[in-house]
Each structure stands twice: as structure tokens, then as C-alpha cells.
Amino acid sequence: MTLEEVHRQDNTTENSDRVQSAGEALEELLVAAKKQDYLTVGVYESAKVMNVDPDSVAFCVLATDEEYECDIALQIHFTLIQAFCFENDINVVRVSDMQRLADLVRADETGEPKDPHCILVTSPSANPWKDPALDKLSLFCEESRSVYDWVPSITLPKR
């Protein structure tokens, strides 16, 4: 085994641990934000929030799975949301486990199902919300951008 292969193997293990840690942080963030009523769930609902009060958006999660991968309208919405987030310095991640994500955010007081394709974590501008999980995810996104991974993918932990 060459030195490059050993280094590549170490990086793969380190990257896997980093992504797993980010998945745990994302789960913590979504649960905490939901308790505080700081979640906006749904593509159209998220677009409304971004249009009305972009400064309140702290984090963005885009989710898809194989079933929706060919949905052109959804992909166009994702592109526009990503562009908006990049322009306004909002961190964005992708999650491929739609069912797990839906389980975390879907239930509300009315019991009505929500569309988990786009989830915003918001924070009031007057009194910004601080959460350690949000700080971990911001660092994860910053590290990912430093290696040209503009919209990193996160895997949520299995339950």
C-alpha cells in the first residue's frame, strides 16, 4: 500500500465520521427548531419566507429521493432556492432520506402532512436563536465549501 492510498483511506474514514456527525447535528437542530416553532416546511412556504423576511433564515435543508429526482419543477425550485441562499449567505445541505426527514418535521398540531422537500430553520432577526447544532452545521458547510462541495449531502442517523 502506498502513502497516497493510506492517506486516501484515512480521509475517507474522517469524511465519513464528519458526515455522520453532521447528520446527528441536523437531527438535533430540526428537533430543537420544531420545539421553538422555528421551522418552515415546504417549497412554497419556504419561498414565501425567503421573499418576505430573508434575514430570518438561518439554515436550509433540501431533500429528495429517487422518486422525485426526475421532477423538473422541483429541481428548478431547488436551483432557485440554492441561488437565493448563496446570495444571502445561508448554509444549504441536501438530505436523501425523505422518509426519515418527514418523520422529524411532518407532525404538527393539525396533523396535516407537510412537504419535506425544503425546510428552513428560521430565527427572529431581533433576537437571534443560538443553537450548538446550528454552529456545528455551519462549520460543516464551511469546511465542505473549502473543498468545493457547495451543497453537501448529509445522511440522517437511522432510528
Structure-model confidence comparison of residues 115 and 53, the more confident one: 53
What confidence tier does 15 reach under pLDDT thresholds 50, 70, 90? low
pLDDT score for 21:
85
| pLDDT (mean) for 88-115 | 81
Q: 3-154 falls under which CATH superfamily?
A: Ribosomal protein L30/S12 (3.30.1330.30)
Is 0.85 topped by the overall pTM?
no
**Parallel/antiparallel/unpaired status of strands 118-122 and 153-154:** unpaired
Locate cell 444571502: which residue? Answer: 88
